[in-house]
Amino acid sequence: MQFTEEHHKIFNAVKKFIANEINPHVDEWEKAGKFPAHELFKKMGNLGFLGITKPTEYGGLGLDWSYNLMYAEAMGEAACGGIPMATGVQTDMSTPALAEHGSDELRKEFLAPAIAGDYVACIGVSEEGSGSDVASLRTTARTDGGDYVINGSKMWITNGSQADFMCMLANTSEGPVHKNKSLIVVPMKTKGVTVARTLDKLGMRSSDTAQIFFENVRVPKRYCIGEEGMGFMYQMGQFQYERLYAAAKQIRAMECAIEETINYTRERKAFGKSLLDNQVIHFKLAELQSEVEALRSMVYRAVSLVINGEDVTRLASMAKLKAGRLVRQVADNCLQYYGGMGFMNETPISRMFRDTRLASIGGGADEIMLTIISKYMGILPKGH
């Protein structure tokens, strides 16, 4: 893949923004259990970071996904996993279907302010009892005149306590599970929407995550994104962007962890020499860096498919699977070389160790990725 000066400008601008506007505040936001999403997103919107691939008529930059790749990679410079996850929800999880399939009216009302950073978005797919099993979700949106009346709940909603709107997947008919769902924009201040609680998580602590209830929530049917009944297919499309973003942001995060571990082990002395001089350590770090480069190649190839309009499901699933497993391996191995300091909360690698565990769960668990890959290989048993 060929990168232009514009690609590098985006990467460097995001990197600079993280150094100035995110990393100095991460410790504070981690303790608070949330970051000021509206304040931060507005700054990002002003710089064009929230609409890199979105249409120019709604405030986006109208660029292809290779430019978004630069943004995603640079987000790995953040000194936590929570902020890159939350911003990724805004750019690549809750707005792609709205940008591609939403009516002009709907995009003006919700996409444009999301790109500008005036609105914070969240994605409402997962429910208690149906996380990765999207087809089994139970939330309903019943037609009543010109409105939908929504009842149900959503779980593990990133940005949930601060969001202005949700891109919700709900059952809009009684038909087959893959054809009875629609994506609906739900303003979070609508009567009947209740943020039941914010969730206490192992990691990603700077990002607020909520459980949300919907009781007779009434929204106009024009808030349906695209065609009614096409929500499952639209959401499968959004998942591909989510998985590419998830894999891309881990690349630089892992490189930073390896670089910091090299610096630490070079300075740390044991038995008369630096820890880094031990073959078991410098060989392992070399191996991990090689694995990161392999992941980068896979992600870049997947992005090339996206740009060419090809089906990226198989490769995006592979990249997400590989990234989730590799980032856990990097965090675990690097923490080991910090010794006792690696077990201290004051050491950044301990935060990475906690945050990265979600990588093999969120956005489709490893087992779902393996199921998708098996299907594309033609080895998935019938009926699965």
Catalytic annotation, residues: 242
Tokens of 15: 């990197």
Q: Determine how many CB atoms are found less than 10 A away from the CB of residue 361.
A: 15
Instruction: Tell me the C-alpha distance between 266 and 285, whole Å.
Output: 12
The closest of 22, 30, 29 to 351, measured between CA atoms, is 30
Q: How far is the C-alpha of 374 from the C-alpha of 379, rounded, in Å?
A: 5
**What are the backbone dihedrals phi and psi of residue 68, each rounded to the nearest 5 degrees, phi first?**
-70, -30
Which of 294, 298, 364, 356 minimizes the C-alpha distance to 325? 356
For the CA atoms of 53, 77, 155, 362, the dihedral, rounded to the nearest 10 degrees, stands at 90
> Which tokens sit at 34?
């949330």
- DSSP-derived letter for residue 111 is I
Write the CB contacts of 382 (distance below 8 Å, at least 6 apart in sequence). Answer: none
